[in-house]
A = this chain, B = another copy of it.
């Protein structure tokens, strides 16, 4: 048996202590699978004296987490502090720069600095691994890096934010509105006190940018992810979608197309979408995550499981550690950094979509004529339309429609024509329909 793999852990919140519990609980099994012992030698966190329910007395303590990178008794540093920059990034740079393997659950840092860190890792022949950064316990980084490695991928998409999925599927089950369910989710710990990153789609965008880089061999371009959150989705939209045979899910999607200049362009989007009820993602409920990869030989593959939580996240962190112990390492983004293409973003106006549109309007003559005229003038072809009075809402009326497939820009043109109309009492909601 090889000598132990000596690890240091920075950050001892629920995930950090989860990793320590996992390493203790499954010790024998991990040693067998890793082919060597995995031994925690040092830890660091903000508060040394907090009771975390695990015995830390056997490990060396560093007040300054960056010092972990310099320790001679550490082969691998695990970063579970979070934050795209600051101490986490300093630790990543110092660890990889010192030739130490580095494992992290930090999606924001990888989405912003993953390429630079991968370069440092390559230069120092160290591993950089981040399975836990995307979709919690689901081995989807490995799934794309290795499982689908024989394929040119056509699309990567999925449900990457458990908070949003909990809220949407709960709205579906109860008929309650967004704000009410968000408050409930916060009370239950399924949503943060400040839920902005989740409900605005930013968390999902971080994860999508990472998956897109791996799946398409692209340089991560987080800033190019077009992101729409779920705050505008009403209970009435969910009811309407249901009647049409759909559920609403926050879908993160990446695909590529070849521009007129011959360059590959990358489209990355996080949007609430209408998902047909017979699509595998439609039955993904609660805080579950799921990722679909469509390969040119594999066809459609689905990976599903818990997207967050200390157990699942620790499972992913330790899977990375075992890979490293087994010396199964390789390029963090599947191919070496020099081979990753900078892919300009797609301007999606020409892309064909079926779309769900919802207007809230005043109840007076001519409103429907105004909306349908705008659609006609912008070249939007309507497949079905329903107008519904809402007795409880003082004359507010809902107009929902589904369009035939058409270029996205036409929808935008139609909405521009209606912009400033006195008939509309709220901004219209536009939800694409997920193509099967």
Contacts and interface: CB of A to CB of B under 8 A. Distances in A.
Contact of A32 (B148, B309, B339): B339
Interface in A301-351: 301-306, 309, 311-312, 314-319, 321-323, 326, 328-331, 334-336, 339
A299 B150 contact: no
A26 B328 contact: no
Q: Which of A29, A283, A314, A339 is packed against the most chain B CB atoms within 10 Å?
A: A29
Nearest to A294: B305
Contact of A305 (B26, B30, B298): B298
A388 interface: no
A63 interface: no
A97 interface: no
A116 interface: no
Interface stretch (A87-95, A137-145, A364-372, A399-407): A137-145
Q: How many copies does the complex hold?
A: 2
Contacts of A304: 280, 301-304
B328 A146 contact: yes
A301 B336 contact: no
Interface in A148-179: 148-152
A25 interface: yes
Contacts of A283: 278, 280, 283
Contacts of A138: 301
A26 B150 contact: yes
A189 B261 CA distance: 43
Nearest to A334: B33
A217 interface: yes
Interface residues of A, number: 60
A235 interface: no
Contact of A297 (B18, B32, B299): B18
B150 A315 contact: yes
Contact of A295 (B35, B295, B315): B315
A158 to B, nearest CB: 12
A138 to B, nearest CB: 6
A382 interface: no
A296 interface: yes
B142 A147 contact: yes
A300 interface: yes
A317 B22 CA distance: 33
B330 A149 contact: no
Nearest to A131: B147
A178 B307 CA distance: 39
16 contacts: A29-B152, A30-B149, A32-B335, A142-B147, A143-B143, A149-B318, A149-B319, A150-B314, A150-B322, A280-B304, A298-B306, A298-B315, A300-B305, A301-B304, A301-B305, A302-B304
Given A143-B147, A150-B316, 6 more contacts: A29-B152, A32-B217, A33-B335, A35-B330, A149-B318, A298-B305
Interface of A: 18, 22, 25-26, 29-30, 32-35, 137-139, 142-143, 146-152, 217, 278, 280, 283, 290, 295-306, 309, 311-312, 314-319, 321-323, 326, 328-331, 334-336, 339
